[in-house]
Structure 1
Amino acid sequence: MADPSTVRSRLRATFAWHGDRTDEHQYADVTGWWRDPALLRDLGPALARLFADGRPTVVLGLESRGCLLGPLVALSLGVGFVEVRKNPRQAGDSDAWLRRTTPPDYRDRHLTLGFPRRLLSPADTVLVVDDWIDTGGQALGVHRLARDAGATWLGVATVVDALAGNEVRRRLDVRSLLHVRDL
């Protein structure tokens, strides 16, 4: 297992911004993170270490990149994983889902998030995993879902924290490997 400073260095080395910083179409390219097998192997344990003081019973990951990183963290912690889908549809009337609409996200969208109700219970302690947090809108939606299930909230482990202020960071206990200014 790599030490945290090595993981952070490799994250920065395999990351790229595309477009000019003044360009409204500028975007963060994290695809290099998935291509480096050593980094991919170390991402789960590195994110899990952010909450070494907690005892999650389940990891929740937001579609899409949270569903890549979440299982890596869950394996590292020896717990299960729940996929949080965007705009989910249930298969039938007997397929009960928890759903919540988010505050505006980084694209100013209000998304509906959800997962099958049977996957989370009041006995669970929830750790949410994602690659990037910008406004916190989606994480706030997952927080509400966890509360609806009666589960205990642990926090959000993310690769990059791009939150502008501290309110959401403190409210959700957001911990990251990098801050956007590191990139």
Structure 2
Amino acid sequence: MLRAVGPALAELYADAAPTVVLGPVSRGSLVGALTAAALGVGFVEMRKASGSSIDSDRWVRRTSAPDYQDRHVVFGFRRELIRAGDRVLMVDDWIDTGATARTARALVADCGAAWVGAACIVDGLTDPRLRHDLPVRSLLNIHQL
């Protein structure tokens, strides 16, 4: 069953020809890597910032709006992993408030790359306008569970 998740998520955006998949820690890293493998493209893990590091000047970082637990999370990745001209697809297991996806889109823009959208296993968006604005495509809607 797990082996089918990557190809299923990849199919949601096959028409968009992404060149990079971005997956937020932690479950987004798993399903994102599976999706990148299915698409035959690179994968970048979007990490939660855990403090400064020696190479912090080579990272792009952004703070999210409140997430499903009402937290503001600092996300980032090494700047050279996404370049201008890349077409970036974010992949995660679940989307609820859209805060992580909006932060990812801003980070992608900071790199001069193009945002393709967000592919998720479960769409539990509390604001339905985000499905179009981000855009979001999913395998399941929360009402199907």
Is the structural similarity TM-score above 0.5? yes
Distance in 2, Cα, partners of 1:100 & 1:140: 10
In the TM superposition, residue 164 of structure 1 has moved relative to its aligned partner by 2.0
- Aligned match of 1:41: 3
Matching residue within 85, 96, 110 for 2:58? 96
- Answer with 1 or 2: which has the greater Rg: 1
- Structure 1 residues 27-63: Cα deviation after superposition (integer angstroms, max 9, x where no partner): xxxxxxxxxxxx1000000000001211101000000
5 Å-filtered alignment, 1:22-37, equals none
Matching residue within 59, 63, 68 for 2:25? 63
Q: What is the count of residue pairs matched by the alignment?
A: 145
- Aligned match of 1:144: 106
Distance in 1, Cα, partners of 2:93 & 2:113: 23
Provide the secondary structure at the position in 2 that maps to 1:53: helix
CA spacing shift, 1:124–1:90, aligned 2, 3 Å = farther
- Aligned match of 2:88: 126
Provide the secondary structure at the position in 2 that maps to 1:69: helix
TM-score, normalised on structure 1? 0.76
Distance in 2, Cα, partners of 1:139 & 1:168: 10
- Structure 1 residues 138-161: Cα deviation after superposition (integer angstroms, max 9, x where no partner): 111101000100100100000000
Distance in 2, Cα, partners of 1:137 & 1:88: 19
In the TM superposition, residue 166 of structure 1 has moved relative to its aligned partner by 2.1
Identity, % of aligned positions: 54
Distance in 2, Cα, partners of 1:113 & 1:141: 8
In the TM superposition, residue 91 of structure 1 has moved relative to its aligned partner by 3.2
In the TM superposition, residue 95 of structure 1 has moved relative to its aligned partner by 4.9
**RCO higher in 1 or 2 (8 Å CA, sep ≥ 6)?**
2
Q: Is the 8 A contact 1:87 1:114 kept in 2?
A: yes
Provide the secondary structure at the position in 1 that maps to 2:65: coil
